[in-house]
Chains A and B, each alone.
Chain A
Amino acid sequence: GNSVTQMEGPVTLSEEAFLTINCTYTATGYPSLFWYVQYPGEGLQLLLKATKADDKGSNKGFEATYRKETTSFHLEKGSVQVSDSAVYFCALSGDAGNNRKLIWGLGTSLAVNP
């Protein structure tokens, strides 16, 4: 079945540092890929998504490119802020049958220090 593997945290960075959180997937067909963010004390929010190969999702300075050849959807941000401290989840939604449900990574905790 489909699966998502996300780099383990916690990740600790200084403000203005470059961020990469790795996410790779295993899936049949042509899944959609998502990054969700969970700020302390809140539910998850959709951060960005990509629905086909080579699509780039972007939002709030974060970007991720759907790479079918490497089955990856790494999250990047050029300059992180303290307010980006949160837990980030990579997720996949398949396109047929039992694969249509969302499959989640374990989450990566990010702490940004001033």
Chain B
Amino acid sequence: KAGVTQTPRYLIKTRGQQVTLSCSPISGHRSVSWYQQTPGQGLQFLFEYFSETQRNKGNFPGRFSGRQFSNSRSEMNVSTLELGDSALYLCASSLTAGGRNYEQYFGPGTRLTVT
């Protein structure tokens, strides 16, 4: 079974631009979560989608948004990029959305650099 895939793997953008990242979950997984990982802040939860509905949201500004399609693929969008948005963005998929057997499977991440 193929793992979680994220595209692109690396991205360089200029401050003020917008960016869209894509995530394809493991086949059969209906939940997709997004995280931002930086050396200073560690792993921070952005949001989770399950069956095309946002189930949970972290404490990020409205410039960060996401969506999930009927095939469970998900996209994350960041508008008006700031230097501080430079980070590794990780996507994780799971069968369920939370609970006692909540195992997440992570993709390799998209490394975003904002200049």
Contacts and interface: CB of A to CB of B under 8 A. Distances in A.
Given A43-B107, A45-B106, A93 B98 contact: yes
A42 B107 CA distance: 8
Contacts of B102: 32, 93, 100-102
Majority-rule SS of B interface residues: loop
Majority-rule SS of A interface residues: mixed
Contacts of A32: 99-102
Interface of B: 4, 33, 42-43, 45, 48, 56, 90, 92, 97-109
Give 5 closest A-B pairs by Cβ, nearest first.
A100-B98, A43-B106, A93-B102, A44-B106, A106-B42
Given A43-B90, A100-B97, A101-B56, 11 more contacts: A30-B100, A31-B100, A43-B108, A44-B90, A45-B106, A51-B100, A89-B43, A95-B99, A100-B98, A101-B45, A102-B45
